[in-house]
Amino acid sequence: MALRIIRQEEDEILRKKSRPVEKIDDKIKELVKDMIETMHKYDGVGLAAVQVGVLKQVVVIDTYEEGSQIYVLINPEIIKTKGLREVEEGCLSFPNKFAKVKRPEEVYIRALNEEGKEIKIKAKGILAQAICHEIDHLNGEVFIDKIIPGTLEIITPEKK
């Protein structure tokens, strides 16, 4: 496993559409492990492969909630959404920027796991939010594009 460099907001790759994974081989499994390690290192809730410079439809998510699991979603597809709510978001590719966006209250998705088995997930709350955020990345969209006007907050890190 290895930490990967997270691409930042000015990197053009973040605006590119990711390609489906055709074969889950050792290279994809290594990418997944590296993404999980990188996400945890930077306290992220989710990470899409494009954020580490790989244009493949791979997402990892960890909500850090009691009893939750780490989700590995390969070629994820939103089947259905329900409701809409206003939530605050940030992004590892946009450090220190936070804003309110509208996300579905619930999402139903289909994806492959790291073993290549099809999984279906009905998600609510932070998990639904993270899934939508990361799938946006796979489509070359970033949360800054969706902010509710007037809600962008830029936090200046304290200098030590």
159 within domain boundaries? no
Q: Say if CB 46 and CB 39 are below 8 A apart.
A: yes
114 within domain boundaries? yes
| Domain that includes residue 67, residue range | 12-154
- Please indicate whether residue 134 is annotated as part of the active site: yes
pLDDT in the model for residue 1: 74
CA distance 147 to 143: 7
1 within domain boundaries? no
78 within domain boundaries? yes
* Residues sharing a CB contact under 8 Å with residue 65, sequence separation 6 or more, in sequence order: 126
31 within domain boundaries? yes
**Considering its fold, how many domains does the chain have in total?**
1
Domain of 72, CATH number, reads: 3.90.45.10
Q: Rounded to the nearest 10 degrees, how much is the dihedral formed by the CA atoms of 106, 110, 112, 114? A: 10
The one-character DSSP state at 51 is G
| Catalytic position from the list 10, 134, 153, 158 | 134
3 within domain boundaries? no
HSE-CB for 129 with a 13 A CA cutoff: 18
29 within domain boundaries? yes
By residue count, the chain amounts to 160
47 within domain boundaries? yes
Q: Which H or E run includes 123?
A: strand 118-124
Per-residue pLDDT of the chain (160 residues; tens, 9 = 90+): 799 999 999 999 999 999 999 999 999 999 999 999 999 999 999 999 999 999 999 999 999 998 889 999 999 999 999 999 999 999 999 999 999 999 999 999 999 999 999 999 999 999 999 999 999 999 999 999 999 999 999 987 765 4
